[in-house]
Amino acid sequence: MKSSALAGLVFLVAVGTAWADTDPQSFDAIEQGRYLAEVGDCAGCHTEPGGKPYAGGLALATPFGKLVTPNLTPDRETGIGAWSDDDFVDALLKGRGHDGERLYPAMPYPYYTKMSRDEALAIRAYLATLDPVRNEVVSNQLPFPYNIRASLAVWDWLFFTPGRFQPAADKSAEWNRGAYLVEGPAHCGVCHTGKNVLGGDETSHALQGGVLQGWFAPNLTGDGHSGLGGWSVEDVVEYLETGRNRVTAATGPMTEVIVNSTSHLRAADLRAIATYLKSRPGQSEAPKAVADSEPAMRSGKAIFIDQCQACHSPSGTGLSKMFPALKDSASVQSQNPANLIRIVLQGARAAATDAAPTAPAMPAFDWKLSDDEIAAVVTYVRNSWGNAATAVSSGQVKTQRKALAEEPD
């Protein structure tokens, strides 16, 4: 075991150094860069809806204001065509723009810093093969005082630890590969780790879930109640590859990540990610289930029978790869019920992938069920078939209904 782990380490180091002098015309480098750009889902942020891939222009609504993603195509005036290699490496790994200004950490350089210079140059080699697209982007559209980049020095000092990924000698090569991907290019924590008031990661609760765009990005640790403890490595791999598995179907912002990124990754990398995530510590106590005799549970059951069970089945087991199971679902029993309420209000659509091309959807119930009714049915599914989670109040539904109504599409 130990010797194979060691061999893995040697291999990683060997791969890391083989690109000491990256040839931008090398097919291998370009292909490696293409793959890393997919792992990092660069196109996910650097493409505006309906726009050319990597040409930027997507407006990111951060808690501090609006940032617009830059153009990464090799256009010399509006893209990165005129950048030097060092400019590119500094931006990707150090969060420094080619004019020396600090980047806003919406760009996940605190994660990308785990990559090597050669990997960064491979990505650049790939980006250089794209058609140049002229698309002028004004990135910084933040209000005062956040538009003052000087403040970012403080942010970096507080939250940014530059430096390549350091493998753990006592872990397997697979675990280390997974750790590198998750903490590095795949930057899972950007969504799945909670943020402090300054937008930095709550590192003490790494990967235990975070809130963004009105969604709760679930707990990805090995936590048995609300994390991935109940999923096998195969379940995680199938989910990332196809957008669904025997218990659930992806929805919300994760569908884009699956369609654009994880469904294209190598099976071995997905296994490595699963292995690493499941090893992450996370423990939450299951609360006591709400009693069946509670009025909300009784009306919730009646609503469930009329509106939900045709797809989700009377026993809450759903239908493998089509309709998510509610029984034993970590996401259903999540401490934060935002996703569940949101899905009942707005409906949700699963991802379409090559392996599972139908993108089944749940219809919206906002016009059909009142706040009280949604609170009851959500409380019911969170506390039936062995599930246990806090009751949801109609006030919580009301708040979310209002927030969704005000949210721009």
Partner 1 sequence: MDGAAMMSAASSARKLPQRDVVIIGLGWTGSILAEELTRAGLDVVAIERGPWRDTATDFPTTYAQDELRYHIRHELFLRPAQETMTFRNQPSGTALPIRSWGSFMPPNGVGGGGVHWNAETWRFLPSDFQLRTHLTERYGNGIIPADMTIQDWGVTFDELEPYYDRFEYLCGTSGKAGNLKGAKQAGGNPWEGPRSRDYPTPPQPQPYGPTLFAQAAKEMGYSPFPQPSGNLSQAYTNPLGVTLGPCTYCGFCEWFGCGNYSKASPQTTILPSLLRRPNFEARTLCEVLQINLDRSGKRARSVTYVTTDGELLEQPAELVLLCAFQLFNIHLLLLSGIGKPYDPGSGEGVIGRNYSYQTTSSVDAFFDGKNFNPFVASGAIGMCIDEFNGDNFDHGKLGFVGGGYMGAVQTNGRPIQSTRVPSGTPAWGAEWKKAAAKYYLGSYEAATHGSCYSYRDSYCDLDPTYTDGLGRKLMRITFDFHQNELRMSEYLTDRLAEIVQKMGPSHIDKKPRKGPYTITDYQTTHTCGGAIMGTDPKTSALNPYLQSWDVPNLFVMGATAFPQNAGYNPTGTVAALAFRAADAIVNQYLKDPGPLVRI
Binding residues for partner 1, rule: CB under 8 A, are 307, 310-311, 319-323, 347, 349, 352, 354-361, 363-365, 368
Shortest separation between residue 55's beta carbon and partner 1, angstroms: 20
The dihedral over CA atoms of 26, 28, 29, 32, expressed in degrees to the nearest 10, equals 160
Toward partner 1, which CB reaches closer, 289 or 359? 359
Euclidean distance between CA atoms 374 and 394, whole angstroms: 7
Per DSSP, which regions of 89-240 are E strands? 140-141, 210-212, 215-217
Strand partners, 319: 323
Question: Omega into 145 within 30° of 0, i.e. cis?
Answer: yes
Toward partner 1, which CB reaches closer, 82 or 322? 322
Shortest separation between residue 322's beta carbon and partner 1, angstroms: 5
Would you say how long the chain is, in residues?
409
Shortest separation between residue 358's beta carbon and partner 1, angstroms: 4
Shortest separation between residue 123's beta carbon and partner 1, angstroms: 25
Cβ distance 340 to 332 under 8 Å? yes
Q: State the first-to-last Cα distance of the chain, in angstroms, to the nearest integer.
A: 52
Shortest separation between residue 240's beta carbon and partner 1, angstroms: 17
Shortest separation between residue 368's beta carbon and partner 1, angstroms: 6
Toward partner 1, which CB reaches closer, 224 or 347? 347
Toward partner 1, which CB reaches closer, 12 or 359? 359
Structural tokens at position 96:
């420094």
Toward partner 1, which CB reaches closer, 211 or 352? 352
* Beta pairing class for 59-62 and 65-68: antiparallel
CA 13 to chain CA centroid, nearest Å: 28
Strand partners, 68: 59
Euclidean distance between CA atoms 72 and 54, whole angstroms: 5
Cβ distance 389 to 287 under 8 Å? yes
Toward partner 1, which CB reaches closer, 59 or 311? 311
229 Cβ neighbours under 8 A, 6+ residues apart:
222, 223, 278, 330
* Beta pairing class for 348-349 and 215-217: unpaired
Toward partner 1, which CB reaches closer, 9 or 311? 311
Toward partner 1, which CB reaches closer, 149 or 246? 246
Shortest separation between residue 203's beta carbon and partner 1, angstroms: 39
Structural tokens at position 40:
């990092």
Shortest separation between residue 244's beta carbon and partner 1, angstroms: 9
How are the residues of the chain apportioned to helix, strand and coil, as percentages rounded to the nearest 5? 40, 10, 50
